Each structure stands twice: as C-alpha cells, then as structure tokens.
Amino acid sequence: MAKNKFNQNWVHDHINDPYVKLAQKEGYRARAVYKLKEIDESEKLIKPGQLIVDLGATPGSWSQYVRNKLAGKEGGGITGEIFALDLLPMEPIADVQFIQGDFREEVVLNQLESLLHGRQLDLVLSDMAPNLSGNSTVDSARVEYIIELAIEFANAHLKPTGALLVKCFHGPSYNLIVDLFKANFKTVSNKKPKASKDKSSEIFLLGKGLKHPQ
C-alpha cells in the first residue's frame, strides 16, 4: 500500500513539475536538460565549433541541448560535433553520432576513437549514475567508480584547456571524488542547479583545464 502511495505521489509530482512541463513545451526529452542549461549559461561551456562527448546520454536531452547550441551552420547543420554514448538505445537526434554500448569496454572506446580521428575534445559531459541499491556504502563506491572512469576518459581525450562535467551525489565518497577532481583539474567547482530537486543529494562537479595533459 505504501509503495502504491509513493508511486501516486511521484506521478503527481512529475506531472506538476514545472521543468517537466517546460521540457514538453520546448521539445526536450527530459527535465534534466535544465540542469545542463543553467550550468552552461553560468560557465559558458558550450560554443559552436567544439567537439563534445555526452556519456550516459539516453534519453538524449543533454545531446539535444548541445546540438541546439552548436547549430547555426548554413543549411541547418551544426558547427562542431557531438558524440553520445549509452548502454541503452536512444532515439536518433539530428547531427548527433550515437554509439550504444558501455564506454568502459575497449570495443566501444575504439568506436569512439575511430570517429575522433585523433582529435581532442573540448568538453566531456556525464549525466551517468549507477543503479542505486539503497545501501549508501555500496552506492557511493559505484558512483565513485563511474566518476573515476569519466576522469580517466577525460584525461585521455580532452584538450589541455578542456572541461569535464559529471553528476555526483553527496555521500561517503563525495570528498574523495572532489579530491580526485582537484588532482586532475586546475579549477574545480560544484553546482546545484535549480532543476535539481531540493531533497536530492545530486550535485554536479565541473573540472576545467587538465593538470597532466597526455
């Protein structure tokens, strides 16, 4: 019964969520787009001409936003390139090159690298989150592992002046993750966009400028 009530409350909150309504009105696939939009507008991360990777892209609202920011080329195309990766399938988005698979696996990384042709990225975005178990120690370890992989990926593929934005959570490993960011990036800041629900422990970490470019 309690679970039923929780589901009803969730549906009610979701339907009445102003960001859900705005996403539907503006043609975005998820309310998460407004988290990226707010961070981008304050940090000026996304500019035409950039090469950008969106990790954990499905359903695609972040890639939609990036695509709109890179648009403006004659003939309706974009200036720059977007590469989106996810384990789950994603409905196609114009001008977005999608790879379905686990970016931890070499075969998937090889696919991406073949599209990059040795070029370095301006920005890596990661809205990835593990399936949470409810056990804070286990979940923190999973979050930390995913972010470690994102940092490793960024170190291998970013320009020295590039940036990495990841979704994180306040939990037992939060300070360790911040320290890891500080060890790899020249400037590190945390962001709690308005579209992140107040009761959520979700927070975003932004690292700019690699300390040890490869």
Which residues are catalytic, by number?
167
CB atoms closer than 10 angstroms to residue 112: 19
Q: What angle do CA 60, 64, 65 make, to 5 degrees?
A: 120
CB atoms closer than 10 angstroms to residue 155: 18
CA dihedral 191, 128, 135, 190 (to 10 degrees): -10
Burial class (CB in 10 A: 0-12, 13-18, 19+), 120: middle
Euclidean distance between CA atoms 164 and 160, whole angstroms: 11
Using CA of residue 146, residue 151, residue 156, residue 161, what is the dihedral sign? positive
Helices 136-157/174-184 angle, 10° precision: 10
Can you tell me which residue has the tokens 């931890």? 104
